Amino acid sequence: MNHRTKGLGAISFAASAFAILFATGASLYAQGAKSAVAYIYVSSGTSSGGEQINAYAAAPNGTFTPVPGSPFAENGAYITVSKKWLFSSDTVDIYSFSIAANGALTKVSSINAQELNGYNDGGPVNLFLDRTGATLYDEDIYGNNGANNTYQFFDVNQSTGALSFLGATTSASPEFETPLSFIGSNVAGYGSSCYHGFQNIYGFSRSGDGSLTDLNLNPPIPVAATGGYCPYLAATDKTNDVAVSLTPTEDGMTVIGPTQLGVYTADSSGNLATTSTYENMPKVAAGSLNAMVASPSGKLLAVAGSKGLQIFHFNGANPLTHYTYLLATDGIDQILWDNDNHLYAISQSAGKLYVFTVTPVSFGQAPGSPHAITSPGYIAVLPRM
């Protein structure tokens, strides 16, 4: 009897200790979440072959605290986030998740985006939003007759997170390979590609309801020192300037030099003009590029590729200028900024999530970076400032 009583006492003490630790941990998280400058979401594969979202609260110094309930079960690797909602896609459906005040996710609705293209093939990849978060877009890969890509657009119900299909671009092309980047006025978005060596910098005007109309652009491409340039990525600043990656090639496909960065400026009609030349465009050390994103201030441009990550000064319509060396030497697949000078970078091959603090006058890696993540896919960043 005494032995049993002693055992119950030990259990009671352990339970009390656990409760104290749990309460302490919850209190520390609450304090951390209150001061968090952003919530960070990373999709990743599971050992059972499924998908999940790892969620973190980022502190002002860039350190991470896991969000309660993380990781969250989900159905697709592609993700993006607005002020109140996270969206994911498995290339057939698009799923909506509500975001709680502490960053936790709850699935609230879904829509079959594949069946909306009318061809029973293709599907949504590369989810992205306009600058206000009112409209969700996807690249509907092979969504037009099983061969060409379009951009679909959905209205976001800000009360429920449900998506309503608005339509898709009437223009369809295999050259639409990347998400669009919208200029500061939100009235036009741009992309670029070099499908089978064909140089293409394209753009769409955005109407008040979020629908897109092809601008049918034919902007000039700078003359290369040798061969020609292949455009691939586009990134906009907070006004009307568009950075475009330009890789010199011999025949449209054989690379013969490092990528350079050109700058175009959009006029009131969405047309693009440039003063970029071979001589004034900086060269990139990041290898074959995967991502390019301007900082919220528009003063910096992050460029990521097979050889790492690099930052340039974005000088409006004037030529970009070098800023950092390679901040990471793993292959980097995706990069995003928050509003507190933090840059987040995913390396799928290395299984790492890097965090850097970068301003126009200083840069460095955040404490605890890089973070190990098994089978990372894509990243979404929700600024809280």
Q: What is the DSSP letter of 24?
A: H
| CATH of 37-383 among 3.30.360.10, 1.10.1060.10, 2.30.42.10, 2.130.10.10 | 2.130.10.10
Joined tokens for residue 123: 């599907």
pTM of the model as a whole: 0.90
- In the chain, the N- to C-terminal Cα span, in Å, equals 59
Question: What counts of helices (H) and strands (E) characterise the chain?
Answer: 1, 30
If one compares 207 and 253, the residue with the highest pLDDT of the two is 207
Token look-up 């939003």 returns 129
Q: How far apart are CA 236 and CA 301, in angstroms?
A: 9
Domain ranges, ordered by start, for the chain = 1-35, 37-383
> HSE on the CB side for 72, CA within 13 Å?
28
Joined tokens for residue 284: 């990139």
Q: What is the pLDDT of residues 91-133, one digit of tens each?
A: 999 999 999 999 999 999 999 999 998 887 889 999 999 999 9
User: What is 303-347 written as a DSSP string?
Assistant: EEETTEEEEEE--TTSPPEE----SB-S---EEEE-SSSEEEEEE
Query: Is residue 226 within 8 Å of 248, Cβ to Cβ?
Result: yes
Q: What is the pLDDT of residues 137-152, one digit of tens each?
A: 999 998 887 789 999 9
If one compares 383 and 12, the residue with the highest pLDDT of the two is 383
3-state secondary structure of 114: helix
Q: How far apart are CA 137 and CA 167, in angstroms?
A: 10
Strands 363-365 and 352-358: antiparallel
Q: What is the pLDDT of residues 13-24, one digit of tens each?
A: 334 443 433 333
